[in-house]
Every structure is written in structure tokens, then in C-alpha cells.
């Protein structure tokens, strides 16, 4: 018998839903069966059996009124195992409609002459009892479904946050048919612990949290948007959860206004980027819009990680036209398609070209007359530029000089250059090339302000560290290595880097570009540095893998253990934005910078003599000391001569 019941429940609950005809038939049988039972109680079982035929005709006649009520309230259209309070209320209103109709018909017609007479007490008792039985069937069906099927697949969750965000998540789970069950809340306030919220216990966020979640069989922690920064800045908590195999779900948008609807379906399983320590970055969107709206804007490196995001963000402010330059054909074509799809009303010219082709660049300035230039084009990979210093000079340095000079010639209002933390105390060719770009832009701006060069262009430099998920960066590399089964390669166990999200970095670039008056080097607050080895461990933990190793490969050419955002001789001053600092740097005269760059360019024209190129770079940037590189010999020569 038990086996038969188990087979039946499996058959029913494995179906999408019973046919509504079967649900309707079941309700009809309940009404008729209850009518016989009530009549037997009022009279006797013997009398009921003796008059079975006439009674069946009478009960079926009254059933018609119930059918009308069922039809009006659609009681049979729901899925029994998903029955809710609303479905039960529909049943009650349907039977009330039926009994009211019976009352009207009995008092306005002679229906009782053709049917077996029934008392009002009998009719009302039948109505109440049949409704209770139909409700009971639905409740028990839902109960057995929850016990036999949902109980095994439901995921028990804790919610981190006991204020608006956490409560909204819990309400969302309760209101919808969810695979989740809230079994606890987590609070950073110890006094909240052991209290109840929405009938569920609140637990303190302490070293016992993981063990408490295990006791409750909770396998998921949902993080309220108001607690996103808290978990990012508590790496110990994040690592403990990951090691215990507990999934962390966070809001998939960077902001929540605290008012709009928040549902658990808005959450996504965290990636390693989501857990890096950082705080929300706010910028003055109105100020940026006032500057960029209706303007002609040229963006170099428009297909790169930073450049493409600048394109997207600038487009939101409604420029009159965009000129997008990059030498990478396929990624630039992707940007072209994106602009046509998302911003069809903004004229966007995509130009496949190198920035150090002066004739081509001048044609663009002459034709489109940009008012703002965002210069993000650069060769950025350290090992590649160690092997090809001539290209670093041609593209990064001479290309920047060409773009800067053309901006002055054609009356560009502002030139915003994207630099890097590797420009501070550079230990590699790439970082040194960017430092020279900074020096040229800053000295040219000073020359304009002093009236020695005719022009109106203001030059602003923005300097920041690594951006998460950029092309060729460490996190995408780790993910590819993880897919291949490992190992994850780290150059040194102590190497650390600063990280920032691409959208965040670009927001600050736009903010710095609008607030700068020319000659500034803005340094972004990158938050806390992250140890790359810890990053690799966290990626492995979040993946759930147990047999992936980390392999240390040794520092690459030109690589240093940590990046500096400021030179030792530099200092910073606050700006109007808390995340942007103003650097005070060593300045060189425009004439000297031009002279040294001319020598660099001439060396590259005569042939790519790597040693000669790097030696000249060190003259212009004496703090450039090569690390783990063949160019270290040049520093030793300088020391011996000194």
C-alpha cells in the first residue's frame, strides 16, 4: 500500500500539472459526496440509501450553481501543489456565490417541487463542509509536494543584512515560488543576535557563522546590497565561506537606491572580482554631462578595455559625434556594431589607424574638429615592451606627442591622457614610456599657460593601477587556466597589485577630465592592494576545485613586486573628489623634454637598437631602474661611471 502511494505521488508530482478537467471533476465529486454525507447525518443512512436516485438528481441540480461559482472564480485553473491563500479564497467566494444563487432561485422559482426538499441548514452545512474538504485537499497536496519533492531540492539560505535590503530579499523569497528557504539572518551588530526577524533567527557575524550555517544545512549566503562593501572588505569571512563550500550571492548591479524593487532573482553567484576590497565610487554625473553633451569627442584606443568603456560612458551623455580610433580591426568593428545597436542617434566614425601616423591623424582633426580628446591608446603589456622598446617609443611616446600637438593646433579644449601606476619609479620600458608621455603633456600645458606656445588646450593626466577583467589581465588568465585544470601561474608569492573595476576607473577618468584645469596628474584611490597569490587561491576556492595547484614561475622581465601610485619624491593634495588625488611631480622644461624625445625617435628611425633606445629613456627618466631585465646592465654602467 505504501509503495502504491509512493508511486502515485511520484506520478503526480513529476507531471507539470493535472488537467483542469480532473481538478473540476474532483471538486464536483467532493460537493456531491459531502451532500450525501450531510443528508445522512440529518436524516439517516438508511433513508439516504432508499432515496439515492432522487437525491443524486437533486444534488446534481444544485451542483450546477457550484459549477457556475467555480467558473466565475476559476478555482480549477490553478496547480494544486502550488496552491496559495489566494486560491483558497477563490474557493470560498465560489461556494458563497453558489449558495447565494441557490437562495435566489429557491425563492423566485418552484424548483423545490421537482427536487427532493432540503432544509437550509442542510444546504449551508454542505456548502461549508465541501469548501473545507476542497481546501484541505489543496493544502495536503501542497504539503506532500513540499515534503516529497521540494524538501530535497530546496536550498537553505542565510541573508546577510537585517535592514531594508535583507528584508526585501526575504520577502521576495517568501512571495515567489522559490528554490530557497530563509533559515537565518546575519547581522554585524551583536545586540541583534538571537532576535527574530520575519520569524527567523538573527545570528552574529563572528567566527561561528560558518558552523551555524552548517548546523542549519544552509548552503547559500545572500548578501544585501547594503552589505556588499562589508563582505568585500572582510576577506576572512569570504574565504571561510568559500572554504566551507557555501555559495555567496550578491546584487548584480553596482548600486541600489533602497527604494526600487529588490528580488532574490537580481542576485548572482559571486566571482572573484566581486570580492576584491573596494568601496562604491560616486561621480558628479551632472558636471560630466554639462561638459560633454553636444560636443565632438575623439577617443583613441577605443577598442581596448579602457577605451571601449569610455566610449560607452561618454555616449550616455549625448555627444554630437564620436571619432573612435584604434588599430585593432576586429575589436573596433565590435565597437561599431555596439554603437549602431545601443546609440544609433550618435554619429560615430570608427577609424582603423595607428596614432603615430601623423598624416592620417591630422586628417581626422581637420575633418571632425574634436573639442575633447580621451587618449587611451597605448601598448601596455610589460614583457612585450621589454622585447620591443622601439614600438613603445613609436606608439606610446611619439603617438602621444602627435595627438597632443594636433590637439593644440586644432583648438581641442581638453586632452585627457590615461596613464598607469607603472609610470612611478618605472622598472620597465612600458612604465617609462608612459612617464615620458606624462612629462610631455604636463610641460606642453605649462608652455601654453605661459604663452610660449599658442593654444587653448588643457592637458590632464589620470593615473591608476590594474583594471579587473581587462584584456590580458591576470583574472581572465586564471580563469582560462582553471578551465584547463590548472596549474594557476603566479610570478612570485609576494607580488601585489592594485585593482579597480573598468567602469569605476572610467568614471573617474571622466570626472578628472571635467574637473581638471590643465597640467594636473590625477591619482586614483585604488583601495587596498591585493596579493596575486591570494587572488589565485580565492578563484580556486570559489570554483570548488580541490586538485588545482598554484605554480610560481618567477618575476617576468621588467616586473616588480609592487606598483607605486606616487614617486617617493612626489606627494599628493586632495581634490574636490575623495577618490581622486592631485600629484605634485618633478617637472622638466618643454624644450628639454622635446629634445630628448626627438633623440629617442631618431634612434628608432635608425634601426631598433634596443640598448640605445632604453639608454636614452633613462636619460629622460633617471628614476627608471630596470628589474629582471637585460637592461639592468645600463644601470650598472651608470653606477660605475658615477
- 138-159 burial, b for 16+ CB within 10 Å, e for fewer? beebbeebeeeebeeeeeebbb
Task: Point out the catalytic residue in the list 142, 380, 422, 507.
Answer: 422
Q: Is 7 helix (H, G, I), strand (E, B) or coil?
A: helix
User: Is residue 422 annotated as a catalytic residue, yes or no?
Assistant: yes
Cell output for 481: 587556466
- Determine if the peptide bond prior to 579 is cis (ω within 30°): no
Helices (H), 501-625: 502-515, 532-543, 590-605, 610-620
Q: How do strand 247-251 and strand 571-574 relate by DSSP bridges? A: unpaired
Quick one: 190 exposed, middle or buried, by C-beta within 10 A (0-12, 13-18, 19+)?
exposed
- 304-336 burial, b for 16+ CB within 10 Å, e for fewer? bbbbbbbbbbbbebebebbbbbbbbeebbeebb
Cell output for 326: 584604434
- Give the residue carrying C-alpha cell 581626422: 364
Cell output for 574: 586632495
Q: How would DSSP label each residue in 282-348?
A: ---HHHHHHHHTT-EEEEETTTSHHHHHHHHHHHTT--SEEEEEES-HHHHHHHHHHHHHH-TTS-E
Cα separation, 186 vs 170, in Å, equals 12
Nearest of 376, 320, 310 to residue 348 by alpha carbon: 320
Q: How would DSSP label each residue in 91-115?
A: HHHHHHHHHHHHHHHHHHS-GGGTS
- Determine if the peptide bond prior to 108 is cis (ω within 30°): no
Which DSSP category does 199 fall into? Answer: T
Cα–chain center distance at 131: 49
Cα separation, 121 vs 153, in Å, equals 47
- Give the residue carrying C-alpha cell 581587462: 470
List active site positions. 422
Amino acid at each position: 500500500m505504501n509503495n502504491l502511494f509512493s508511486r502515485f505521488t511520484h506520478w503526480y508530482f513529476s507531471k507539470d500539472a493535472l488537467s483542469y478537467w480532473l481538478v473540476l471533476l474532483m471538486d464536483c465529486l467532493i460537493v456531491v459526496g459531502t451532500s450525501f454525507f450531510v443528508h445522512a447525518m440529518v436524516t439517516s443512512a438508511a433513508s439516504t440509501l432508499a432515496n439515492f436516485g432522487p437525491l443524486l438528481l437533486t444534488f446534481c441540480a444544485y451542483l450546477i450553481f457550484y459549477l457556475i461559482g467555480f467558473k466565475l472564480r476559476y478555482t480549477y485553473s490553478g496547480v494544486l501543489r502550488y496552491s496559495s491563500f489566494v486560491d483558497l479564497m477563490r474557493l470560498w467566494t465560489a461556494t458563497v456565490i453558489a449558495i447565494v444563487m441557490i437562495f435566489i432561485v429557491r425563492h423566485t422559482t418552484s424548483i423545490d417541487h421537482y427536487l427532493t426538499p432540503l432544509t437550509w441548514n442542510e444546504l449551508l452545512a454542505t456548502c461549508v463542509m465541501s469548501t473545507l474538504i476542497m481546501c484541505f485537499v489543496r493544502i495536503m497536496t501542497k504539503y506532500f509536494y513540499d515534503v516529497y519533492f521540494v524538501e530535497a531540492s530546496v536550498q537553505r539560505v542565510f541573508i546577510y543584512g537585517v535592514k531594508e535590503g535583507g528584508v526585501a530579499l526575504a520577502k521576495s523569497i517568501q512571495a515567489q515560488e522559490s528554490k530557497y528557504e530563509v533559515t537565518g539572518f546575519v547581522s554585524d551588530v551583536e545586540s541583534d543576535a538571537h532576535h527574530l526577524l520575519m520569524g527567523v533567527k538573527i545570528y552574529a557575524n563572528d567566527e561561528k557563522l560558518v558552523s551555524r550555517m552548517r548546523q542549519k544545512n544552509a548552503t547559500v549566503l545572500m548578501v544585501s546590497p547594503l552589505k556588499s562593501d562589508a563582505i568585500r572588505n572582510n576577506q576572512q569571512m569570504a574565504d571561510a565561506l568559500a572554504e566551507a563550500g557555501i555559495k555567496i550571492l550578491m546584487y548584480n548591479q553596482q548600486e541600489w537606491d533602497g527604494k526600487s524593487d529588490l528580488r532574490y532573482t537580481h542576485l548572482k553567484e559571486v566571482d572573484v572580482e566581486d570580492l576584491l576590497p573596494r568601496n562604491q565610487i560616486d561621480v558628479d554625473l551632472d558636471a560630466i554631462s554639462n561638459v560633454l553633451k553636444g560636443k565632438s569627442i575623439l577617443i583613441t584606443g577605443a577598442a581596448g578595455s579602457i577605451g571601449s568603456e569610455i566610449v560607452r560612458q561618454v555616449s550616455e551623455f549625448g555627444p554630437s559625434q564620436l571619432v573612435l580610433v584604434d588599430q585593432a580591426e576586429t575589436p573596433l568593428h565590435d565597437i561599431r556594431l555596439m554603437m549602431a545597436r545601443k546609440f544609433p542617434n550618435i554619429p560615430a566614425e570608427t577609424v582603423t589607424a595607428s596614432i603615430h601616423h601623423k598624416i592620417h591623424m591630422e586628417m581626422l582633426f581637420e575633418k571632425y574638429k574634436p573639442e575633447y580628446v580621451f587618449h587611451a591608446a597605448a601598448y601596455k603589456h610589460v614583457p612585450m615592451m621589454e622585447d620591443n622598446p622601439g614600438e613603445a617609443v613609436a606608439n606610446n611616446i611619439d603617438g602621444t606627442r602627435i595627438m597632443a600637438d594636433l590637439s593644440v593646433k586644432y583648438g581641442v579644449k581638453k586632452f585627457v591622457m590615461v596613464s598607469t601606476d607603472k609610470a612611478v619609479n618605472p622598472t620597465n620600458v612600458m612604465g617609462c614610456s608612459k612617464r615620458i608621455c606624462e612629462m610631455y603633456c604636463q610641460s606642453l600645458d605649462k608652455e601654453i599657460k605661459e604663452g610660449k606656445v599658442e593654444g587653448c588646450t588643457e592637458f590632464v593626466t589620470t593615473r591608476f593601477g590594474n583594471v579587473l577583467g581587462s584584456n590580458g589581465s591576470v583574472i581572465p588568465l586564471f580563469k582560462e587556466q582553471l578551465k584547463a585544470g590548472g596549474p594557476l601561474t603566479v610570478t612570485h608569492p609576494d607580488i601585489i597589485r592594485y585593482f579597480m573595476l573598468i567602469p569605476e576607473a572610467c568614471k573617474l577618468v571622466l570626472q578628472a577630465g571635467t574637473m581638471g584645469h590643465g597640467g594636473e596628474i590625477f591619482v586614483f584611490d585604488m583601495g587596498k592592494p591585493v596579493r596575486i597569490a591570494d587572488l589565485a587561491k580565492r578563484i580556486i576556492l570559489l570554483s570548488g576545485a580541490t586538485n588545482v595547484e598554484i605554480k610560481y614561475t618567477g618575476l617576468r622581465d621588467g616586473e616588480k613586486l609592487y606598483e607605486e601610485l606616487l614617486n617617493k619624491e612626489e606627494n599628493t593634495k586632495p581634490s574636490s573628489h575623495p577618490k581622486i588625488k592631485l600629484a605634485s611631480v618633478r617637472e622638466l622644461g618643454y624644450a628639454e623634454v622635446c629634445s630628448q624625445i626627438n633623440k629617442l625617435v631618431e634612434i628608432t628611425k635608425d634601426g631598433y637598437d634596443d640598448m640605445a633606445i632604453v639608454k636614452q629613456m633613462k636619460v629622460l627618466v633617471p628614476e627608471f631602474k630596470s628589474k629582471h631585465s637585460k637592461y639592468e646592465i645600463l644601470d650598472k654602467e651608470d653606477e660605475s661611471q658615477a
